[in-house]
Amino acid sequence: GETSVVPPCDDNDVLAAPKNSDDLAQCESSLLASDGDGTWIVRLSDPLSPPILAKLTLDDASWTWQILTKPSPDVPPPKGAYWGCISLPGEEESLVVGSSVVLRPAADVEVKGVILLPHGGPHTTSTAQFFASTRLFLEMGYAVILANYRGSLGFGRQLQMQLPGNVGRLDVRDCVAALESGMKKMDIDDALPKAIFGGSHGGFLGAHLVGQHADLFKAAILRNPVTNLVSMASTTDIPDWCCVEAFGKPADVEQQPSARMGDGSFPPSPEALARLHEVSPIAHVDNVKTPILLLLGSGDERVPVEQGLQYRRALAMRGQDVETYQYDGEGHSLAKPQTEFECLSHTIRFLDEKM
């Protein structure tokens, strides 16, 4: 196709907002460069609007923003669409376990369903930035919930470190809470169909959710999901991830020498293997009723393709509805343009069929 060159905006094209830290908190910003003398180049976006490149100048405690480039073609936000954030209460009234981003079509648009989208990692975070996939889901008439959970970054180390040793339990619980709170925040009927969309640890959560909450979701789209830590511990390029997330902090593992995983020794003991199975989604495969779409990269070293293929085989042996697409030469992110296009196309079709 043709390449479009976006010219810089003229000097008079200055943003009216954000003008202060409160306005800045309403979008996602990334610092790209600074001259060390009060001028910064930043990337700004929000869940409805593609990124812009802007220059920020701080002068006498006032902010001035100048747009340098805009998306081409410029894609205006959907008219009347809504986005906001929700806080998830913990077991103690004073504890907040995270904040999730919610997006809703305009009030005059009939909402077709809700898509829950937990991030991977698990120690990353969902922010109020633009993603083409979530914008597309919104245009299709779906509300979207970008779930943060215990273990996510940005909510303090105490909450981050609650997850190791509790994967498949606390993160699953928080995702259900995000779904319920998000639907309430957006005033969406609980009877509407729901889908789960996630990759890596987000796929791990999706597989756990359809196993632990068998009647909750009408569709699940899982990209390179972690499904069986027993086999992943000996095939992934990050076996320490399996150790820390399944058993807890390394100091805790050292108090369990029978686990034989804390120091990286191999093979794991029978006790360790039992624990790895216990926290894996495949432990709940007998309960799965939800149709599942698996999108896999054959060259994934982080979450080897056998994770998805094992899960597909287990589901197929139980007569469950499962589709699988495996992409040769693709790694963990499934990021080649053609692969990304095909994965999104399969996702759209699958949602239309199952929701």
* Under 8 Å between Cβ of 220 and 229: no
The rounded distance, in Å, linking the Cα atoms of 64 and 15 is 8
Nearest to 215 by CA among 144, 286, 290: 290
Active site annotation includes 258: no
119, 201, 213, 332: the catalytic one is 332
Q: Which amino acid is at 88?
A: L
Strand partners, 118: 147
* Under 8 Å between Cβ of 265 and 193: no
Would you give the distance in Å from CA 313 to the centre of its chain?
25
Nearest to 149 by CA among 101, 115, 185: 101
Complete DSSP assignment for 277-343: HHTSGGGGGGG--S-EEEEEETT-SSS-THHHHHHHHHHHHTT--EEEEEETT--TT--SHHHHHHH
Active site annotation includes 332: yes
Q: Which amino acid is at 57?
A: T
The rounded distance, in Å, linking the Cα atoms of 289 and 231 is 24
Counting every residue, how long is the chain? 355
The rounded distance, in Å, linking the Cα atoms of 296 and 131 is 20
Active site annotation includes 200: yes
* Under 8 Å between Cβ of 81 and 48: yes
Q: ∠ CA(355), CA(342), CA(28), 5° rounding?
A: 80
200, 213, 231, 280: the catalytic one is 200
46, 171, 174, 300: the catalytic one is 300
The rounded distance, in Å, linking the Cα atoms of 268 and 265 is 7
Would you give the distance in Å from CA 44 to the centre of its chain?
20
Q: Which two tokens stand for residue 254?
A: 């050292």
Q: Which two tokens stand for residue 185?
A: 């925040």
Exposure of 122 in the CB half-sphere (CA atoms within 13 A): 35
The rounded distance, in Å, linking the Cα atoms of 267 and 243 is 12
Among all residues, which ones are annotated catalytic? 200, 300, 332
